[in-house]
Amino acid sequence: MNKSKTLPKRSDVPVEYKWRLEDIYPSDSDWEKDVQKAKQLADQLAGLKGKLGQSGNDLLAALKLQDELLQTLDQVFVYARMRRDEDNANSTYQGLTDRATSLSTQAYGAISYIQPEILEIPTDELEKWISEVSGLAHYRILLDEITRFKPHTLSSEEEALLANMSELASAPNKIYGMLSNADMKFPMITDENGEEVELTKGRYTQFMESKDRRVRKEAFDALYETFGKFRNTIAASLTSAVKGDVFYARTRKYPSALYAALFADNVDLSVYDNLIATIHEHLPLMHRYIALRKKLLGVDELHMYDLYVPIVPEVDMKIPYDQAVETIKVALKPLGEEYGRVLAEGFSKGWIDVYENEGKTSGAYSWGAYTTHPFVLMNYQDNVNNMFTLAHEMGHALHSYHSNHAQPYTYADYKIFVAEVASTLNEALLMHHLLETTTDKAQRMYLINYYLEQFRGTVFRQTMFAEFEKIVHEKEEQGEPLTADSLSEIYRELNVAYHGPDMVVDKQVDLEWARIPHFYRNFYVYKYATGFSAATSLSKQILEEGQPAVDRYLNFLKGGSSDYPLNLLKNAGVDMTTPDPIREGLAVFKELLEEMEQLVSKG
Ligand SMILES: [Zn+2]
């Protein structure tokens, strides 16, 4: 990486490497027109307040207007934000983004009455309207999805009370964020070059990958020592968040906080329990991986600060963008012609903003509006990692493309529960292709390790987090006190179980719960593990079965939110209420682990 080289200005980036946001709005004045349109629609909808329960026709009119408004808002917002992401220093697009943001806030405020009013319509009445008013049947799934929450919706006075509480309820997360992002300061440590540098959360990740073990240990000790100073404060904020989850679940008459969280996706408890149980069944595989890591690092004791350092020497695999594109095209051939055609279109028709430039937003994402093709933001560097990121984001993009084409706007947007399947599946196929075509031993080891690490980080680690959340919420529900000590004790037991006998579980890491912001977004991380497992299992089916599996998968991509996530996945070939998909995913892990063990023992 050459940091002294200055980045090109936006205007100097060749047009073939820039996305074509003109496909959304040919000019900013077209954007203005839609802003006016959105305002009008929001006003019109505000005028229907209090009338939805009058008749099926009134309800239909409101739902149609709502679709139109949301579609316009999406487009307005997406355009402004993506223009700003091109160059954050551009004040024009900062302005447009600010306007789009406040427009959205206003509009969502104006339509916030719709859901409560629908919930107040008696079920029989609503059913009658759906069968009598032509056009209303289109909204059947949407209406079912709203009325599904009826048993968990309180009287309007109680709902108002809860709504007024919402800012207070988010306080633990806010306080934790302020403490850990703004107020907490980490000490200076000595880096690989003997220089004193301030430890930051961002640098911590880099230090954990340092080949110099002293640096890793110093960063590890310093980080946890600092968190340790705030252990009681953070325990108070985390347990308050947990109490909040339990309070809301009870108030809304859910059997448990976990049940309430999964209910939002209509996911059965068995999916969660099944994930944890199946991972436990396979922990010996994780322990073998840990043993292999210990062997490769050549250490007497493997410590928690040895978990992120690369165990395979970095191989020189320079992959320029155009080569990455060609490789991905070939790797995704098993997905068939239709997929391949759209993929090629994505690569050639202005979907992707490829390279970094001055002021451009960092990272990578896929996004877009319903009426135009999806867009992908990259900051492409010529390496393996970025090729995988590109394949990943194109997975999201093609998912959106297919859902947008097959579904009406009402049902085009897919849920988070299924979102990471399409992206991860592309990564799995890319890995498969690379392993098929790579014979160089060092490169193979590098690739396999890359994948094993993904499994460890996404499947094992996230399941461990999910299990921690489950235990902690259950303890709160049973009235057991949660303190810094009890949280650490729970966390330690999990660490020992997940990492096995070859890992020295340093006492510092008992406090890791204190630095995981995701715990404030309860019962969310398990979706990473289920998504990754589903994708791995589906990629296997596609490679082994061919066309029938491809057809099922394309239907899944076209499903949007026309059905519940679990049903969409089941139709694609993975039933997440059973251990099979997770077992199939882990079978891939096992296969790669065994090859790695063999490659290592051959020396
Ligand atoms: Zn993703």
Q: Are 286 and 503 in contact, with CB atoms under 8 Å apart?
A: no
Confidence of residue 84 (pLDDT cuts 50, 70, 90): very high
**Domains parsed from the chain with CATH numbers:** 15-153 (1.20.140.70), 171-311+456-520 (1.10.1370.20), 321-443+527-563 (1.10.1370.20)
DSSP character for 381? Answer: -
Distance 12 CA to ligand 1 centre (A): 29
pLDDT of residue 583: 96
**Residue 5 pLDDT > 80:** no
Q: 489: pLDDT confidence band, cut at 50, 70 and 90?
A: very high
- Between the CA of 392 and the centroid of ligand 1 the distance, in Å, is 6
Contact call for residues 426 and 332 (beta carbons, < 8 A):
yes
Question: Is residue 603 scored above 80 in pLDDT?
Answer: no
Centre of ligand 1 from the C-alpha of residue 97, in Å:
23
The yes-or-no answer on residue 337 being catalytic is no
Residues with Cβ within 8 Å of residue 214, at least 6 apart in sequence: none
Structure tokens at 339: 């997929």
User: Ligand 1 centre from 393 Cα, in Å?
Assistant: 6
Distance (angstroms) between ligand 1 centre and the Cα of 224 equals 29
pLDDT one-digit tens code per residue, 359-416: 999 999 999 999 999 999 999 999 999 999 999 999 999 999 999 999 999 999 999 8
What pLDDT score was predicted for residue 159?
Answer: 87
Full 3-state SS string of 293-322: HHHHHCCCCEEHHHCCCCCCCCCCCCCCHH
DSSP label at residue 561? T
Looking at the predicted structure, is the pLDDT value of residue 4 above 70? no
Mean pLDDT of 506-534: 95
- pLDDT digit string (tens) for 564-595? 999 999 999 999 999 999 999 999 999 999 99
% the chain with pLDDT above 90: 91
Q: Tell me, in angstroms, the distance from the centre of ligand 1 to residue 181's CA.
A: 24
Cα–Cα dist 56/121, whole Å: 10
> Which of 527, 525, 531 has the alpha carbon at shortest distance from 574?
531
CA of 361 to the centre of ligand 1 (A): 17
Q: Can you give 470-534 as a three-state secondary structure string?
A: HHHHHHHHCCCCCCHHHHHHHHHHHHHHHHCCCEECCHHHHHHHHHCHHHHCCCCCHHHHHHHHH
Q: How many whole angstroms separate alpha carbon 572 and alpha carbon 483?
A: 44
Q: What is the pLDDT of residue 2?
A: 40
The alpha carbon of 80 and the centre of ligand 1 are apart by a number of angstroms equal to: 22
Q: What pLDDT does 1 receive? A: 39
Residue environment code for 415-429, b if the CB has 16+ CB neighbours within 10 A, otherwise e = bebbbbbbbbbbbbb
Tell how far the Cα of 173 is from the centroid of ligand 1, in angstroms: 24
Cα 424 to averaged position of ligand 1 atoms, centre (Å): 7
Token pair in block for residue 32: 């203005």
What is the predicted pLDDT for the residue at 29? Answer: 97
Phi first, then psi: what are they for 129, rounded to 5°? -60, -45
CA of 475 to the centre of ligand 1 (A): 33
CA distances from 432 to 39, 429, 456, 534, 543 (A): 49, 5, 18, 16, 9
**C-alpha 445 – ligand 1 centre gap (Å):** 25
- Tokens 């960092």 belong to residue: 362
Among 86, 393, 420, 584, the one annotated catalytic: 393
pLDDT of residue 314: 75
* Structure confidence by residue, pLDDT tens digits, 255-314: 999 999 999 999 999 999 999 999 999 999 999 999 999 999 999 999 999 999 988 877
Average pLDDT over residues 106-135: 94
Instruction: Compute the half-sphere exposure of residue 250: CA atoms within 13 Å on the CB side of its CA.
Output: 11
Q: How far away, in angstroms, is 74 Cα from ligand 1 center?
A: 20
Distance 405 CA to ligand 1 centre (A): 20
Q: What is the mean pLDDT of residues 133-138?
A: 96
Cβ pair 281, 498 in contact under 8 A: no
| Centre of ligand 1 from the C-alpha of residue 519, in Å | 19
- The residues near 358 (Cβ < 8 Å, ≥ 6 apart) are 6, 7, 8, 9, 10, 87, 89
Taking all residues of the chain, what is their mean pLDDT, rounded to a whole number?
A: 95
- DSSP string of 425-437? HHHHHHHHHHHHH
Neighbours of ion ligand 1 (CB under 5 A): 423
Q: Rounded to the nearest whole angstrom, what is the distance from the C-alpha of residue 365 to the centroid of ligand 1?
A: 7
| CB-based contact 301:504 (threshold 8 Å) | yes
Higher pLDDT, 563 or 311: 563
How far does Cα 327 stand from its chain's mean position? 25
pLDDT tens sequence across 303-345 = 999 999 988 877 778 999 999 999 999 999 999 999 999 999 9
Query: CA torsion 22→27→31→32, rounded to 10°?
Result: 180
- Give the pLDDT score at 141: 95
What does the pLDDT look like over 182-228, one tens digit per residue? Answer: 899 999 999 999 999 999 988 898 899 999 999 999 999 999 999 99
Task: Compute the distance from residue 420 Cα to the ligand 1 centre, in Å.
Answer: 5
Asked if 317 and 443 touch (Cβ cutoff 8 Å), the reply is yes
